[in-house]
Every structure is written in structure tokens, then in C-alpha cells.
Chain A
Amino acid sequence: MPGMIEVEGLTKSYGEHRGVTDLTFKVEPGEVFGFLGPNGAGKTTAIRLLMGLLRPNAGHARIGSLDCWRDSFPIKRLIGYLPGELELDPNLTGGQILTYFANLRGGVDQTFLRRLIEQLELDPSRKFREYSHGNKRKVGLIQAFMHRPPLLVLDEPTQGLDPLNQAEFDHLVEEVRADGRTVFLSSHILNEVERLCSRVAFIRESQLTRIESVHALMAFRRREMEIVFADPVGVEEFGALPGVEAVRRLGVGRLRLVVQGDVDAVVKRAAQHRVLSLAFKEPNLEAVFLSYYADKTTAAVPEIQGEPLEAFTLQPAKPPGSHSEADY
């Protein structure tokens, strides 16, 4: 079955500046797909290639089986687009802008459009140049959603939105997902990606480093565990267990552990003692993201389930049992 977005070997170079190199991925219909990466990694270049604004040096991108450069005109009927840096005619009101883009799309459902305006609490009578950054973003969001496109390409969609409007944006994406439509969402807000996306691609230094389901990524996570025992327990008893990356004694009978992956071995070993309390601090995707990007050195990649891709950067792996209190 063809994907909604199919990208194969896509490359764009700007000379001394990197663009994107050899991107390959597929977004299925009905999927909310996250696109993550640090600043300058190539996220916006990839999106502009999808939108037919840039011509690739190599490879191709297809949306709905149409080539993004050659067939950019029919493709745009399928897309609702919100760029990362939104600029619209400063002398038009929000209402005029929405009317203009609705006309260019051959008309939209006015009831739905009004609902969107009310939902995001936009005042369409003000000129675009008078809007705050958040309100400008709302105009962009409404024009992207208003024609109910099969695919939404959203670059940093909620930057500048207040929490209430971010929640409204979440509702809109949920509606799109419920309709079986597709969303390609580039974001720095990892909680947003974690909440909304089913899969996420990581891009770094112009290359795709990993594609993973959010669920699997969350399985590949470092949890902090704090266990309080009724009696003193040695650090070394837990340090050598599978998945344990660090152990620290916080007091008599009180340990804090960092565990990657499942905690089965730790729980079973703890059960051999009298446990007074057991607490977890759940990491979010942000912690996973930071573990991908914080360390510049390339290290061995832990084996986790997912699509095989190139090696990515992670904190150096440590042999089992090599952890010490000093590590933590």
C-alpha cells in the first residue's frame, strides 16, 4: 500500500551549508508523524522539499504517489501547510487573509471555518501586522486546517500559542487522526510529539538517524527508581543487574537507581528484601531526545526494536557491572 508520504534518498545541498542528505522514510495514511531534530538539522529543508519549494539534488519525495517537485500543483490540493516562519500580508485582516486563501482553494466550509475561528479565539477583524505572535500563528493554523486536507504539514505549529490554545490544537489533531487523515508534524516541543504522534523520526546534521514508534521510544528510556528497604542493602547487589546503569545510596536502606529498559530484574532482586516503598520517576520523550543529542560522540547503539537505521549518537555504553557511585 502506498504511503501518504514516501521519501527516498532525498538530498538537498546548499554548498557550505548542509541541507538534507539521503533521507528515506515513509508516512502511512492516517498517521501522526513527528519530525524531531535540533536547530539547523534540516527539518525545514525537508519540509520545503515536500512542499515543492526546493528542488532536490538527488532522490525524490512523493505525496499521495505524486512527485513533490514535478506535481507540486496537484499535491497542494492535498495539503494544509503551516510554515515555521509564518509571514502573511501585513495589511490584510485575519478575515481577509482567510477569505483569500479559501478562495484560492476553491472555497471552504464556512461553518467549519467559523468553528475554527471560535475554537482558537481569533479576532479576524484585526490587521495581520497588529496581531501578536500567537495570534499570527492562529491565522496560520486555521488556514492550514480550514479545507480539511488529507495531509497536514505543520512546522512548529504551537510556538507562541498559550496553553489553552495548545490544548485546542491537540483537539484539532485528534480530530484529524479520527478522520483517518495524516499529519506530518515538526516540533521542538517533545511533550507535544509524545502526546500526538504515533511515530517519530530524528534528524541530525542533515541525516535521518532513527525512526521509531513513540511507544518503543518510551520503552527505550532511563527510569529513575527509588527504593526504601527496611534494612540496609548493598549497592553492589544491584549494580550488576541487567539494565542498571547507576546506583547511588541516599541513606541507610535507601537506594536510587537508573534503569534502562524493563525493571524486572531490579524488582525481583528487591523482592528478596523487605521493601518499604518503591517510586519511579518516568522520563518523557525529552529525556530520550536529550540522550540522543546531548553527547556528540558516536557510540554503540543499544539494540532495540525498530526499523534498522544508521548508528546514532548516544551516551557511551558501559559494560555491565561497571557502574559506581561516582558515575551517578
Chain B
Amino acid sequence: MRIKSSEVGGLLGRADLYMLRSVYLKTLRDTRVPTLAWGIGLGALVALALYAGWLQSTSTEAKAALLALAPAFAWWADPVAITTPGGYVTWRIGPFMALLPALWALLAGSQTIRGEEQQGTLEMLMAAPISRSHLFFEKAIGLGTALVVIGGLISLGIIVGGLVIQDPFPLANACLQGLDIAAHAAVFGALALFLSQLTLERGTAAGLAGLLLGISFLLDSVGRTVPELASLRYASTIYYFGLNKPLLPGYDTDLGALLVLAGLLAVFIIGAGWLFVRRDVGAPGWVAQARTVSELVKPAAYPRTLPRLWPYRSFWRSSPYTRSLQQTWRPTFWWGLAIGALAATLSGSAGAGHVSLVLSMLPILFAIFAVTQVSRWAYSEPEGRLELLLTAPVERSAALTSAFGALTIALLLLGIFTLAGLGIAAQLAGLGLPWDNLAAAAFGLVPATLLVGSIGFLLTAWLRPGTAIGILIVLLGASLTLGYVGPALDWPEFVAKLSPVAQYGQPLLNGFDLTAMARLVVLAGIALALASFRFSRKDIL
């Protein structure tokens, strides 16, 4: 008798039986922990920020101070009605609400198909009687559902925060804010999913999508603060995200902005799905499309690699360290080029007054880069690369420190690109900024970012990749937020100093703060030593 599958040997609980019924439900099951963690974390953050905003609004002096501070932070977000709790939240943590869920979404989007392909788990799934398009859309909708849940929990945080400060927000407005956040994050999740159909590695797609997220933020920020460059904002997704301000009284819903986000989402999803159903498993999608055009002429072939820029291939394989460098140099080059070019363009065109604006954004960009590199290391275990490395006569600590060493070199290179961009722009624009201060501005971020990286390595030595990266992003978001919300809550100064932004200080004015840098390097060293200690004792599964 053929009966419907229910369980195997009476071992499964009711939830498992339900959540393993389809690819969609399985995707939800796989993302349930990060979804709830992110949703609850961000919801709590919004509630906290509402409370901070309410505290500010109760004091005339605090309101005046806030209004005096607003112009200096115009690059960060629109300073509209900032003396109201809703306006304060929109201004202070609005960009975080755009950036952090989008960062998680792009990591999840790149993992969804290409990550599983790299791990080898997709092949068995594709042997099941599910069409490729069905499989793709079930997974995509699963991710979309996770983002809607995150948005819903943020809405819940808004409602709770409103009740706490006895100034409740209408349910529709709270929901619209959550929807806006989910829609923006979904665009980057879909973008990573699309890019991952064109790349052979999940990490490459995540890195590119992260870079575009950073550029999107920069374009919006510069367009807002530099009137001559205002049109740049139209190319930024964060601009469309920010057009809706449901927590501000009197702001109508901007359906057009939501439609732009929905349109981008649809384009990326349809493009990714179109590529996925046509390509070979294990190959980038552009090969399949190139073949479609060329196969009438001759049987096509996979191009083995892009033209080699570095002819000494054996160099890369001479040690775990050089191998790590090889894996890092390509994203480092593109990130560095983009950061340097943006720094040059914006500083040169905007003048000396706005160089500090560019510098204020660098901690975020450097930190996102560090997260993508930690993610690459973390997923080397489930993807089997780590096991292979450790079968060679390589100390575990050497494997870990090699990866960290490559990150250090990569950050120094980013510093060089940044310095080149700033320096060239300053010279061309005749800004007269001293080179040593520019160097301090460009390289001052390296220690703080190394600390972010070492904490990431420490987390991956204990936790599964998804959990570790999720916690790292939350920690990063929280520490960045501290720099802005912390002072309003009258927290001690040392708490605010936990933020990389605060640690970065004002290098353009003050030059190198060697004490602060040494402190960060020591902390990073301690975290790395702990990571190495733990990693040496970890089971490689």
C-alpha cells in the first residue's frame, strides 16, 4: 500500500513533519533562527530608539541641541521633524534599517542557490521531481517570507515603542515601515541571487552585491548633501527607501518609491530565475547564454578562467597564506577601486567641507568588506575547502591566521586605494590637506576593521556560519548605532566608544591617534588568539 509520507521511524516531531513538506517550508525552516533573531533585534532597536527620541523631545535644551546637531548629520539621513520620536528614529537609525537587513538578505540570497550548489546539496534536490523554475521560486519566496517576517517584527517593535512612550503609531504606518524595510532588503537579496547565477562562487556574488549596497548608500548620501550632485540619488535604492517616512506625521505614502523597489525586485528575480533554468549546474549562467548564441556555429565550451593578470601561478600555492591572498585579491581590488574612485570623485567635486563626509562613511564600507571576508572563511568549512586544507601538513592556527593575514593585507590595500583617491582629489581641487592627515584618515580604519574581522573569526570558531555571520552583523549594527543613539540615552562615554565610528575619531583634523589604534590592535590580537585557540580544538564537520 502506498501511503503518504509522514515520518521515519517515529523520530520526527510535528513541526518537522510540517516544515519538511516542501522546498518553500524547508527554506523557512532553514532561516527561522536568523529571521527571528534579526526581527526581534531590529524591533527592539527601533523601540529603544523611539524611547531615546521621546526623551529628547521632552527637554527644550535637548531639542535645541538636536536641531543644532542635525546639519552635521545631514549626510546620514533626512533630518525631518527630528524632535518627534518618529522623526528621530527615521533620522538616527533609518539608514541602519535599510543597510542591515539588506546585508543579511544579500548573504542569504547568494547562499540560496549558488551556496547550496557549492556545498553539493543542490544536486540531490534537483534529482527530486521538481522543475527548476518551481524550485527557484519556492526558495525565492521562502527568502521573501523571511524578510516579511523581519519587517513584521520591526513593525511590532514600532507599535510596542509607541505604546511605551504613550504616543502610539497607527497600525498601518507601523506596517508600512516594516514593509519598506523588507522591500529594500529584498531588492538586495534578489540582486545577490541574480549575481550568483553569473558567478561560480557564492562569496563573489555576495561581495559584489555588498559593494553595490555601499555605493547605493554613498550616492544617496552625497546627493542629499551636495546640491550639484543631487541627481545621483535617483540611482540609489536607499533614496527610494527613504521617500517613505511612515513614522513622520503628515507624510503620505509614496507608492511610486515602493513600485521602484518592487520593479527592481521583479527584474532581479525574473533574471535570476531565467538564468537558473537554462544553465548547467556548476557553471555560471553567462556561459549558458553565450552558448545559446554560439552553438549554431560550433559547440561552445566553458572558458576556464578570465585572462590571467598574475602569471606566477605557483606563487599562490606556496603556502596557506598566499592561497588566502589569492582568494582575497580580486574582491579587494574591486572594493578598493570603487572606494578610491568614490572618494576621489566626491571629495574633488564637493570640496574640502565634504571630505569628512566621505570619511564618515568609510567605517561602514570597510566593515561590510570585513563581513564578506569573514563569511568566505566561515563557509569554507561546509563547502569542504577547509577540510582539504587541513589534510595538508598545516597547523590549524596557521590556517586561521593565514586567512586573517590576508584580510589585514586586503584592508591595508583598501587604505592605499582610499588614500590615493583622497590625495589625488585633494591635489586636483587644491584643497591643501596635509598628506599625513589624509594617511591617518585612510589607514586609521584598519585597526577598527581588524577588530570586526577578529570577532568574526572568533564567532566562526564556535558557531555555524549562518549564525556567526548573523551575530557579527547584529553586533556591528548595534555598535554603529551606539555612536548615534547612545549619547541621547545618557549612556557612559565608554559605551559610545565601542562604536568603530567613535574609535575612528577625526583623523583629518587630529592625525593618527596611535593610542586608540594600538588599543584596537591589541583587542583584535586577543580576539584572534581566542579564535585560534578555539579553532584548534574544534571538530571539523
Contact = CB atoms under 8 A, between A and B. Distances in A.
A113 B124 CA distance: 18
Contacts of B278: 55
Interface residues of B, number: 50
Interface string A135-153: 0000010010000000000
Given A14-B301, A15-B302, A87-B119, A109 B11 contact: no
Interface string A96-124: 10111111111111110110010000001
Contacts of A297: none
Q: Is the interface of A mostly helix, strand, loop or mixed?
A: mixed
A93 B278 CA distance: 32
A16 B301 CA distance: 8
Interface in A61-118: 72-74, 76-77, 79, 81, 83, 85-91, 93-96, 98-111, 113-114, 117
A124 B8 contact: yes
B121 A88 contact: yes
Contact of A86 (B3, B7, B124, B132): B124
A99 B22 contact: no
A67 to B, nearest CB: 14
Contact of B129 (A54, A105, A124): A105
Given A13-B300, A15-B302, A96-B16, A53 B281 contact: yes
A93 B302 CA distance: 37
Nearest to B281: A53
Contact of B5 (A48, A72, A102): A102
Contacts, number: 141
Contact of A54 (B7, B9, B21, B281): B281
Interface size class of A (residues with CB under 8 A): 35 or more
Interface in A135-189: 140, 143
A8 interface: no
Given A77-B129, A95-B9, A129-B541, A88 B17 contact: no
A183 to B, nearest CB: 15
B22 A114 contact: no
A87 B3 contact: no
A99 B124 contact: no
Contacts of B515: none
A87 B121 contact: yes
Given A13-B301, A48-B281, A87-B123, A95 B3 contact: no
A207 interface: no
Contacts of A113: 5, 8
Contacts of A11: 299
B4 A107 contact: yes
Contact of B124 (A57, A88, A103, A124): A88
Nearest to B21: A103
A83 B124 CA distance: 8
A107 B281 contact: no
Contacts of B17: 99
A87 B120 contact: yes
A58 B296 CA distance: 10
B323 interface: no
Interface string B253-286: 0000000000000000000000000111110000
A89 B288 CA distance: 27
Nearest to B2: A109
B12 interface: yes
A90 B382 CA distance: 8
29 contacts: A14-B302, A15-B303, A17-B304, A53-B280, A55-B279, A55-B280, A57-B300, A73-B134, A74-B129, A76-B127, A76-B128, A83-B120, A83-B123, A88-B124, A94-B8, A95-B8, A96-B8, A99-B20, A102-B8, A104-B125, A104-B130, A105-B129, A107-B5, A109-B2, A110-B3, A110-B6, A110-B7, A117-B8, A125-B11
Interface of A: 11, 13-17, 48, 51-55, 57-58, 72-74, 76-77, 79, 81, 83, 85-91, 93-96, 98-111, 113-114, 117, 124-125, 129-130, 140, 143
